[in-house]
Amino acid sequence: MKKLSITALLASAIISGLFSLSSCGNNAKPGKADNTKTSAQQSGAEDKTEKGGIAYVCIDSIINNYDFCTEHSKVLQNRMNSIQASLNAKGKALQNAAMNFQQKVQSGAITSREQAAKMQASLQKQQADLERLQNKYSESFEKERQKYNDAMRDSIESFLKDYNKDHKYSIILSRVENNILYADKSMDITEDVVNGLNKRYKSSKSK
């Protein structure tokens, strides 16, 4: 089974270039700040909205610091390790059986074509079974990963919609590595978003 990067899988679930958000039904213009001030607004959010109502969130920080992501990435990693260990064990067993067959052929322990054909057919069946099992595991893991990705993306998008009711950004960008060449640091709302996500996640778990 091809080794996959859990971090890459998580990033692919929430990277869509940007999160486009309207004013959530508010009549206020995006460039105007709301009277309710969070820590992010107190540290320069008013400047952000004055610069066109644009902000950005660093995806890597969400992946590394959002409890939902870190907890479920461990679940996926453990599942992947379990699958890999199972396939490796069965693959090694098949390899040993093939070597044993070869040794018997070379030593003359197999005395008839019928016996050789029977053993070879058994090896071919084991190989086919292993390939089917690998495909089954791959499909199962992909479904599990997709289910988690959907839940993670929905949780982030849902939070940002609620978050934006007060902040009134026209658009919130997702920053990944160097996909944004330059952005004023005052437009970075990552810490505020991560703290809000974790607060809401802990609250939902306690219920």
Cα–Cα distance for residue pair 40/32, rounded to 1 Å: 15
Within-domain flag for 140: yes
Q: Domain residues for 120?
A: 6-206
Question: Which has the closest alpha carbon to 167: 21, 58, 2?
Answer: 21
Question: Which has the closest alpha carbon to 46: 29, 57, 31?
Answer: 31
Provide the domain count of the chain.
1
DSSP assigned state of 69: H
pTM of the model: 0.66
pLDDT at site 164: 93
pLDDT at site 11: 55
Within-domain flag for 67: yes
DSSP assigned state of 184: -
Within-domain flag for 117: yes
Mean pLDDT per block of 10 residues along the chain (207 residues) reads 51 46 37 42 46 82 94 93 95 94 88 89 94 95 93 94 92 89 92 96 85
Structure tokens, 107:
């030593």
Scored b (16 or more CB within 10 A) or e, 85-114 reads: eebeeeeeeeeeeeeebeeeeeeeebeeee
Within-domain flag for 141: yes
Within-domain flag for 1: no
pLDDT at site 16: 42
pLDDT at site 189: 96
Q: In what order do the strands lie in the sheet with 171-175?
A: 18-20, 171-175, 54-58
